[in-house]
Amino acid sequence: MKFRAVRPADASGAEVTIVPLFDDKQTPKSLPRAKRAIVERLGGERGATTLYNVFTHVGGDKDGRVVVVGAGKRSEYDAERARNIASAGIKSLWRTDAKAATIYADPTAIGEQRATQAAVEGAHFAMWRPEAHRSKPEDRRLPPLATVTIAVDGNVKDALRRGDAVGQAVNLARRLANEPANKMTPSIVAQEARAVAKDAGVDIEVLDRRKCESLGMWSYLSVAQGSHQPPQFIVLRYRGRGGKGYDLGMVGKGITFDSGGISIKPADGMHHMKADMTGAASVIAAMGAIGALKPKVNVIAIAPCTENLPGGGATKPGDVFTSMSGKTVEVINTDAEGRLVLVDGITYAQREGATRVVDVATLTGAIAIALGNHFSGLFGRPDTFVEEVRRVGGEAGDRLWPMPLTDEYRNEIKSDIADITNSAGREGGAIKAAAFLDAAVEGGTEWAHLDIAGTFWSDRDRSHAPKGPQGPSVRTLVALAEHYART
C-alpha cells in the first residue's frame, strides 16, 4: 500500500471514506455536505458511537462507501484509539473490491503528527491475515487496497513515513511468527533476517554452532541438542551515530518450535509453539524499521534461534551447563528453555558494548495468568529505566505492566549444585524467570525484560484487529531507538 495525506477540504470523491464518530456525535466540519448528511444519519443509529462499532453506507460513484467507526468518548481519545479506529474501518473492507480509502484522522488531543502515524499503522495492522497457506483465491479476505489517504491538515510527511515503517515491521513480525515450524526453521529465520538487513541497510552476522561454542554459549546450545536443525545466533547492527558501543541492545527469544524437550508439553495448544520465536521476529522486524527511519543511535539486535525437541542428544533434567557469562546453570525443567537462550544473548549484547538491553520473549505462561491477554509483563533495573520503557512503550501503543523483582526471588533460583537453576516452582513463575535473566545482567547495564506470553497471540478476530500473531513490542523497540536518538 501507498500512503499520502491531503487536507480534509480536498478529500472529496473518495472511493471509501472512513470517519470516526464520538459520543457527542459531532461530524468533522471538513466533510463534504453530502457525506456529512450520511454520517449524521448513521450517527442516529443505535450504538453508532459504541467503541469500534462499524456502520456502512454504500452509495453510487458520487458518495462512494462511507464507513462510520464508533470512537467512544471523546475525552478518552488517544493515539492507540486512533490506530484501532483506522484498523476497524479498513477491516470493514475485507471481502470487498475497494482499491482506495480515505481516513479522516481526528487530531483532537494528540495532534496531526501522532494522529497521522496512528492511522497509517492501524491501516497496516488491518491488512494482515493468518491464512497464508490456503490454496483457494476465494478464501483470501483482504481487499486490493493500493492507496490509503489520510485527511489531515499540516505537513505530516515524517508521520506518514514513520507509520509506514512501523506498520510494515509489526506485520513482518506477525508473518514470521505465523509460519509453521517446518517453514520457519532457525536457518530460514536467518534468511529472513538477511533480507531485512539488505533492505534496511544494516549489518548482519549469523554465528553457527562452532562459533557459539568458541564463545562459551553452552546455555544457549544446550537447548539445541535435541534438534537436527542447526542453531543460528543472529546479530544485526545499526550504527546511526557512529562511534563505539551501542545505545540500545535488543534480544529476542528465537525458539522456532518448543515441544518442551524431555519435559514435553501437553498436546493441547502445542501447535502455537511455532510462534515461540515471536521475540526474535520482533527484534528483527524492529531493526528493519530502525534501518528505514535512520535515527542517530547505535542499536544491536540479537536473535538466538533454535528448536527445542526431545531427541536422543537432548538436554536431560539435572544437566549442568556453563553460560557465556561464566555462571553455571542447572537445568531442572527443559521446558524452561527460553531463559537459557536469552542469558547468552544478553551477555553477548553487553560484551558488544550495549549500555541498555531490552529482551523480548514469550517466556512464561505465568505472566498470562497474572495479567491476562491485554498487558505484557515488564521487569528490569534500575526502576528509572523500567519506568522509561513503560512510558515510551505505552506512547507507542504497547501496554506494559511493571512487575516486582527483588532479592527474595533471586535467592529462589539458586541451585544446590550450580550457580543458578532454570526452574524454581510455579509460584511467581514469571518473576523467577526474570530473576534468572537478571543473573546475566552486569552492574552498570540498564535492563528491561518484556514477557509477551500473554499478548503475542489472539485466537479470534477482534473488532479492530485480525486473529493470530499480534506483534507486541515491535513498536516499543522502534520508539526506544528513536527516543535515545533524541537524548
DSSP per residue, 437-476: HHTT--TT-EEEEEE-TTTSEESS-BTTB-SEE--TTHHH
Whether the Cβ atoms of residue 321 and residue 411 lie closer than 8 Å to each other: no
Domains in the chain: boundaries: 2-155, 179-486
C-alpha cell at 342: 536469552
Q: Which residue has the cell 498487558?
A: 375
Whether the Cβ atoms of residue 445 and residue 348 lie closer than 8 Å to each other: no
d(CA 389, CA 246): 17
65, 339, 390, 432: which is the annotated catalytic residue?
339
d(CA 356, CA 218): 24
Fold agreement (2-155, 179-486): no
- CATH architecture of the domain 2-155 equals 3-Layer(aba) Sandwich (3.40)
CATH code at 179-486: 3.40.630.10
- Strands of 156-244 (E only): list them: 203-207, 232-239
**4 is a catalytic site residue:** no
36, 194, 239, 265: which is the annotated catalytic residue?
265
**Per-residue b or e along 443-482, where b marks 16 or more CB atoms closer than 10 Å to that residue's CB:** eebbbbbbbbbbbbbeeeeebbbbebbbbbbbbbbbbbbb
Bridge partners (DSSP) listed for residue 205: 235
**339 is a catalytic site residue:** yes
The single-letter code of the amino acid at 447 is W
Q: pLDDT tens, position by position, for the chain (487 residues)? A: 999 999 998 888 889 999 999 999 999 888 988 899 999 999 888 889 999 999 999 987 667 899 999 999 999 999 999 999 999 999 999 999 999 999 999 998 999 999 999 999 999 999 999 998 988 866 668 999 999 999 999 999 999 999 999 999 999 999 999 999 999 999 999 999 999 999 999 999 999 999 999 999 999 999 999 999 999 999 999 999 999 999 999 999 999 999 999 999 999 999 999 999 999 999 999 999 999 999 999 999 999 999 999 999 999 999 999 999 999 999 999 999 999 999 999 999 999 999 999 999 999 999 999 999 999 999 999 999 999 999 999 999 999 999 999 999 999 999 999 999 999 999 999 999 999 999 999 999 999 999 999 999 999 988 888 999 999 999 999 999 999 999 9
